[in-house]
């Protein structure tokens, strides 16, 4: 999910849905994620489902480029690949990806400054990774 929607607490194109609620990530549109400048230019984050069904923040991408390219190649949105459609199995919301990367920054201790919306309730938090 994009950092802008996470920090605002609601989905930009569906403001009745809380970003990290159980309904948030499945309802998050590819249009919001990849077409809207304020969203696609904010750091993307990998989320994890918590025991109560809501989501917590786990990782922040060093760059959005690979995720943007993948989402556009496999999704349905204004800037997505032409010919993509839900009839062909492409998605328009609820983007998920398997991410393999290298940890760039690892921290222990308190929640980092400015990261207030439901960071994982753990003693350890992971801040940034690079994908390859």
Classify residue 43: in a domain, yes or no: yes
pLDDT level of residue 111 (50, 70, 90 thresholds) = low
Lowest model confidence (mean pLDDT) among 33-37, 72-76, 109-113: 109-113
Task: Please enumerate in sequence order all residues whose Cβ is within 8 A of that of 43, keeping only pairs 6 or more positions apart, or say none.
Answer: 2, 3, 60, 61, 64
Classify residue 16: in a domain, yes or no: yes
pTM: 0.79
Number of domains observed in the structure of the chain: 1
Q: Which two tokens stand for residue 48?
A: 């994890």
Domain, as residue range, for 26: 3-112+122-131
Predicted confidence (pLDDT) at residue 112 exceeds the cutoff of 80: no
């Amino acid at each position: 999910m994009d950092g802008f929607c996470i920090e605002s607490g609601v989905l930009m194109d569906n403001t009745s849905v809380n970003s990290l609620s159980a309904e948030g990530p499945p309802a998050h549109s590819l249009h919001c994620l990849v077409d809207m400048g304020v969203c696609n230019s904010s750091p993307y984050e990998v989320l994890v489902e918590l025991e109560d069904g809501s989501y917590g923040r786990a990782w922040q991408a060093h760059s959005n480029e690979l995720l943007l390219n993948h989402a556009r190649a496999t999704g349905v949105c204004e800037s997505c690949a032409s010919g993509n459609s839900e009839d062909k199995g492409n998605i328009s919301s609820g983007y998920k990806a398997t991410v393999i990367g290298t940890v760039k920054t690892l921290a222990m201790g308190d929640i980092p400054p400015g990261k207030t919306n439901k960071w994982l309730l753990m003693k350890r938090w992971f801040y940034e990774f690079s994908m390859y």
